[in-house]
Chain A
Amino acid sequence: MPRVICDNERCLACKACEIACAVQHSAAKSLAGVFEEPPRVRVSRLPEARGLPLRCMQCEEAPCVMACMSGALQRDAETGLVKHDADKCVGCWMCVMVCPFGGVRPLRSRGVVTKCDLCEGEETPACVAACPTHALSVDETTAEEV
């Protein structure tokens, strides 16, 4: 399944991915719009590595999909992505609680969650394109290949 993976050795915790994600998901797709919605990737800390960008792993058996009572979170059989429909989301935060990767984030101001959509429609996800050390990349390996 396609997803963003990280080489933790290379992450310098500069948080460029956070800014790029927020820009991409802003209405004007500009730096001025980064305050509209917090980024869907957040750089956290590992005991042995400098940084770890927390993001959705597009799980095949996604706990968030199973926990979602309104059906807002669904796995797209065609693309393999876990998709979120904000119109259906009721803001119960169950997905936030069950996600083992910290990939689903509550957007309190709107009462819904947000998660990585792999920048659908773009050739490369914004975080991957912005990563100055090439720590982030897209893993296209399908379930069958694994």
Chain B
Amino acid sequence: MSDNSKKMRDPASQQALAAAKAAEMATALDRYEAQQPQCGFGQMGICCRNCNMGPCRIDPFGEGPQTGVCGATADTIVARNLLRMIAAGAAAHSDHGRDVAHTFLLMAKGEAKDYTITDELKLRQMAVEYGVEIEGKTSQEIALALGELALAEFGQQEGELKLAARAPEKRQQLWRNLGVMPRGIDREIVECMHRTHIGVDADYRNILRHGIRTALGDGWGGSMIATDLQDVMLGSPVPIRAKVNLGVLSKDKVNIVVHGHEPILSEMIVEAAREPEMLKLAEEKGAKGIQLSGLCCTANEVLMRQGIPVAGQFLQQELAIATGAVEAMIVDVQCLMPALADAARCFHTELITTSPKGRMPGVRHIEFDEEHALDVAREIVRAGIERFPQRRQESVNIPEHTMDLVAGFTAEYVFKLLGGRFRPSYRPLNNGIIEGRLRGVAGVVGCVNPNIQPVDSGHVEMVKELIRNDVLVVQTGCSAIACAKEGLMTPEAAFQYAGKGLQEICETVGIPPVLHVGSCVDNSRILIACSEMIREGGLGEDISDMPVAGAAPEWMSEKAVSIGMYVVGSGIFTVFGTPLPVGGSQAVYDYLTKEMVDEVGAGWAFEKDPVAAARLMIEHMNEKRAALKLRPMMYEPEKTTA
């Protein structure tokens, strides 16, 4: 156990790691050890496999080859590899957005009958943004027109993305001047693949600028469409209480775990699992009911809208199975470890893939179909219930640990809270920053990664340092789950961890010092919140003027690279824990960390120590505060205790 406490931060995961070991089930942490040492060429980004004259490698010590067969330098190769990561990340988010828009359109046409328009107000707001005539039209008609326009953004070839107009005017102009305003969503991703093909773009700056454009098409395009249409269709989240960590699994109910990213199916599973027939079937099979819980971003989606408890983050997916209490794990797309299939075979768990894009050999596949969504969901829930009699109760090992949290904050709602129910406004937030009660706002997001151990510490220690310094923190993804497990998303956390200024705000408004704003695609909510803050006034004319910062302390996925690039491209200073794979090129490193500051008003930084990284963010906010001539901070905390 003591050894496990060095591997994972929360006690539930430590206990589950021991259970996995007892069941002779390997986990990602074991496989990470087995992979050591990992190839330095890959880590530095100086291996090119883009054509069959290669693979080529650059000798970072300067004695061996300094160019590939085609003559590509380390700068070119590093930039190309990074661009391909951005392309993959943007593709993943945007394909999620496309699926949502597709379902939305089917709903509007009446072909996906299990979905309805839940947020009429947001539907009309979006319709106006898209230029849809709403006078005298039914919601269905508006949705049809909006759905077609939103779906068309993916294949748009010319012009500008509609939702980019939500950015401050100055920011839009900056993008146009730099030539990084996205023309469409898919087009930019395709162009990444073209530019990185043998013999196309060799200028690392030109390559990286296209990376900014592609990533912006994700943040202000694919991801934003995903978030907004999900809100319209499934409901905009409002603050909601829930529980998090492996202890949410039930000893006597059927445990069904939804895992992956898209809420389209999981929302239906939530509905199906509440049906009386299903509950009756569960009782017939000897269970006391059905316990749904979530993993990864699917968890965040059904948490935000339905208050479904969260079993854990990315690195807890196998550990959930290791409790021996999971009847079915339902997966769709992204961040699903292929190792789940082996893990499930160690227990009675039925693993079910549902997306035509993501199958696993030897694993049951029940294909999701929007037009029969609820029927598919029922079949899945039934499959889970039928596994219950096979559970070996004597070998069930569910950790006791759970933690309370409040989630469900959005760009629209959180600030209504700050402004009071009758005066929804960003003014109190802006005033808080201007008066020096709040230092600024930080978005701490992204994955968990075994290269930061104990896992979760990267997030938790960074966020604690930030709130201690009166920085309001907003979170998404696995980062949010990591901090929720630590109790940072309870209102009481303000008194325990936050600085005095932040404490005062939390106490007045009744919010936690760390706000859960959703899944990875919901990082778009942070972009909107920043734009709204500029619109409210008093904090400069562009996002890059504001005392805000971003971080992904334990990033691992290509999606995180795309997110990082659109956040920096939107003018927000961003710190990643382990560096991007660009160490082989000083020029690329300098572009990302220095030249981008001149070009887009913000740059990247890399710092593995989470507290030191938080200090970088705080320093950045202090500089921005000074430049805006904001009032001095009301309360400066004592020097770091760490």
Contacts and interface: CB of A to CB of B under 8 A. Distances in A.
Interface of A: 10, 12-15, 43-45, 50-51, 132-134
A12 B58 CA distance: 12
B63 interface: yes
B136 interface: no
Interface string B197-224: 0000000000000000000000000000
B64 A12 contact: no
Contact of B40 (A14, A44, A45, A134): A14
B37 A132 contact: no
A141 B42 CA distance: 34
Nearest to A45: B37
Contacts of B60: 12, 133
B36 interface: yes
B59 interface: yes
Q: Select the residue from A12, A13, A51, A134 with max chain B CB neighbours within 10 A.
A: A12
Q: Select the residue from B36, B37, B38 with max chain A CB neighbours within 10 A.
A: B37
Nearest to B38: A13
A44 B37 contact: yes
Q: Select the residue from A15, A44, A133 with max chain B CB neighbours within 10 A.
A: A133
A14 B64 CA distance: 15
Interface in B32-58: 36-42, 44, 57
B61 interface: yes
A13 B40 contact: yes
A133 B64 contact: yes
Q: Select the residue from B38, B44, B60, B65 with max chain A CB neighbours within 10 A.
A: B38
A133 B59 contact: yes
A43 B35 CA distance: 11
Q: Select the residue from B40, B44, B59, B64 with max chain A CB neighbours within 10 A.
A: B40
Contacts of A12: 39-41, 44, 60
A15 B37 CA distance: 9
Contacts of B44: 12
Top 6 A-B pairs, shortest CB-CB distance: A12-B40, A13-B37, A14-B39, A51-B37, A45-B37, A45-B36
B36 A132 contact: no
B64 A50 contact: no
Contacts of B42: 14
Contacts of A13: 37-40
Contact of B57 (A44, A51, A132): A132
A50 B63 contact: no
B93 to A, nearest CB: 31
A38 to B, nearest CB: 15
Q: Select the residue from A13, A43, A44 with max chain B CB neighbours within 10 A.
A: A13
Q: Select the residue from A10, A14, A45, A50 with max chain B CB neighbours within 10 A.
A: A14
B37 A134 contact: no
A127 to B, nearest CB: 15
Given A12-B44, A132-B59, A132-B65, 18 more contacts: A12-B40, A12-B41, A12-B60, A13-B37, A13-B38, A13-B39, A13-B40, A14-B41, A43-B37, A45-B36, A51-B37, A132-B41, A132-B57, A132-B64, A133-B60, A133-B61, A133-B64, A134-B63
A132 B37 CA distance: 17
Contacts of B40: 12-14, 50-51
Contacts of B64: 132-134
Contacts of B37: 13, 43-45, 50-51
Nearest to B37: A13
A10 B37 CA distance: 14
Contacts of B38: 13
A104 B38 CA distance: 23
A92 B566 CA distance: 60
A133 B66 CA distance: 11
Interface in B1-52: 36-42, 44
B61 A10 contact: yes
29 contacts: A10-B61, A12-B40, A12-B41, A12-B44, A13-B37, A13-B40, A14-B39, A14-B40, A14-B41, A14-B42, A14-B57, A15-B39, A43-B37, A44-B37, A45-B37, A50-B37, A51-B37, A51-B40, A132-B41, A132-B57, A132-B64, A132-B65, A133-B59, A133-B60, A133-B64, A134-B59, A134-B61, A134-B63, A134-B64
A49 to B, nearest CB: 9
Nearest to A10: B61
A45 to B, nearest CB: 5
Q: Select the residue from A51, A132, A133 with max chain B CB neighbours within 10 A.
A: A132
Contacts of B63: 133-134
Nearest to B36: A45
B212 to A, nearest CB: 30
A111 to B, nearest CB: 25
Nearest to A14: B39
B44 to A, nearest CB: 8
Contacts of A133: 59-61, 63-64
Contacts of B65: 132
Contacts of A134: 59, 61, 63-64
Nearest to B39: A14
A67 B42 CA distance: 41
Contacts of A45: 36-37
A14 to B, nearest CB: 5
Nearest to B56: A132
Contacts of A51: 37, 40
A115 B175 CA distance: 60
A145 B200 CA distance: 54
B131 to A, nearest CB: 54
Nearest to B43: A12
A138 B26 CA distance: 39
Interface in B62-98: 63-65
Nearest to A44: B37
Interface in B95-136: none
A137 to B, nearest CB: 12
A133 B63 CA distance: 8
Nearest to A135: B61
A133 B44 CA distance: 14
A77 to B, nearest CB: 36
